[in-house]
Structure 1
């Protein structure tokens, strides 16, 4: 049975690094929205259309993921899924396709996230979105760590 692997965490928590490792471990297709977004739209984080574009990219990547799962290949969705309802939706979608579901939760302190963000923004690796510190702080107020009922599907990684 195929598995939908979902990386969960804030930017700079290590999601993409882990997604690359999981891609190798499971011979899976890794879909990282930032890589697609930056190729299509560049560094548009301050553009009024950024969120709309990002949602479109994620929607298209889900369509690819769904087809690949049906074809019998595991998928790593490097989406972040910051809130419970997004994770529930992904779990439901996977079950509708007959796929298993697993959350890979990356938990990092604010200090670690901010330090990694500064390093990332200074180097800005290919496919990475430049994120102002103020945006990361804003997003941290929205983030919902996995609830206890989600933990049966979870692997938790503490980043320090």
Structure 2
């Protein structure tokens, strides 16, 4: 994928897509770029709050705590000239506003990667991921549907540079 961004400008890569849409896989690919670091919410939540994550309200509470400390950290990395792949879901207008707040504290460029993958494909990937057991969190179909009911695709008026990724075959 060719980028329209200046070669030397740090970039904040933001990810939007339902559970098992391929956000972490894309994040790992993006993080292979020079002077780029990956910060993955699932890894941090697993280490800091695994025993506390049972329900959607638990996730919201713990994720909010993590976001509070990560925002200034990510802004500092960007201001130091390091690109950041933020593997945190930007799946609601509110979550994307948090990302927007980071961008506004920097001179970095940004890309909002929107993984537009049908629910059936996400659920098939989720089942496979759960069977492999290598992801920090196993998610049930009911949890997938609960989280997906809050999903909001990015809107033009939000002002992001959106890169759309559609499901393949």
Runs (4+) off by over 4 Å: none
Give 1:152 shift: 5.8
Q: Deviations over 1:43-101 (max 9, x none)?
A: 65325644312221232222321111111101111111111232234224313322212
Correspondence 1:59 to 2:51: no
Contact 2:75 2:105 in 1 (8 A): no
* Partner of residue 8, structure 1: 16
5+ residue gaps, structure 1, are: none
* Partner of residue 86, structure 2: 77
* Cα 1:17/1:151, change in 2 over 3 Å: farther
Q: 1 or 2, which has the higher helix percentage?
A: 1
* Partner of residue 53, structure 2: 45
Larger deviation, residues 38-47 vs 110-119: 38-47
SS in 2 for 1:112: helix
* Partner of residue 138, structure 2: 130
Correspondence 1:87 to 2:121: no
SS in 2 for 1:142: coil
Give 1:26 shift: 4.5
Contact 1:82 1:143 in 2 (8 A): yes
Larger deviation, residues 13-22 vs 76-85: 76-85
Correspondence 1:103 to 2:112: yes
Query: In angstroms, what is the RMSD of aligned CA positions?
Result: 2.0
Number of aligned positions between the proteins: 159
5+ residue gaps, structure 2, are: 1-8
